[in-house]
Structure 1
Amino acid sequence: MNVVDRIFQLKEERHLTSKDVEVGAGLANASLLQWKKGKGKPSLESIIKVALYFDVSTDYLLCLTDERKEDKIEISLTEEEKLLLKAYNNASVYDRFRIIQLCMNSLDENIKKYGDLFLNY
């Protein structure tokens, strides 16, 4: 099996037409047909688009694994950490830089104040 076979397998499982996949994934018209006929291969960009469209990993499409999705590590965050992440995600590029700068300045101050005790935390 190869990447094109995997794409067609996913397409057939979901009862989609080639046009459905091309439009949904943002591929050029008749891409799938060209790949199937061996008249070209999917680019890295196309593989990523198809993986996102089908909600599978690129490793799965490339036949490097049979697991469709990569395991995600669960991380529990405090409410304060969730608020910080939300603020960061909603910030402009400039404000994101300012948030990082503020955190780094705070880190520097704590290192100066608490030294090795803080670094071992």
Structure 2
Amino acid sequence: MRYICLVYADEAALRALPKEDFDRLVQDSIDYDDLLERQGHLIVAHALESPSLATNVVTRSGKTVTTDGPFSESKEQLLGFLLVEARDREEAIALASRVPPGAYGRIEVRAAGKPGDH
């Protein structure tokens, strides 16, 4: 079963870390992705560009409206994701519990699949 692990954290707080701590977090994240790949769990992992650069698209009654910036003003923003293969939700949660940025925010775990799969 596939699960998406959404990585949420306060971007400003992460950027405020001392350079060596931030660099270590980035390297730990790369290392963990590599481990998940070697173990056959990782399908894909990506960091996302800054929420301040996001564009929101809303289409209603055939009209499309875009707005710049994050969807909501909150302390934590979606900063990246991992799509993993796991036996079940418990294994997915165990994998997510070791995602390095989780120490600074939270990891949301959801089953992923085609519409109607769950």
TM-score computed with the length of structure 1 as normaliser: 0.22
**Bigger RCO of structures 1 and 2 (CA < 8 A, at least 6 apart):** 2
User: Relative to total residues, which structure has the larger helix share, 1 or 2?
Assistant: 1
User: Relative to total residues, which structure has the larger strand share, 1 or 2?
Assistant: 2
Larger Rg: 1
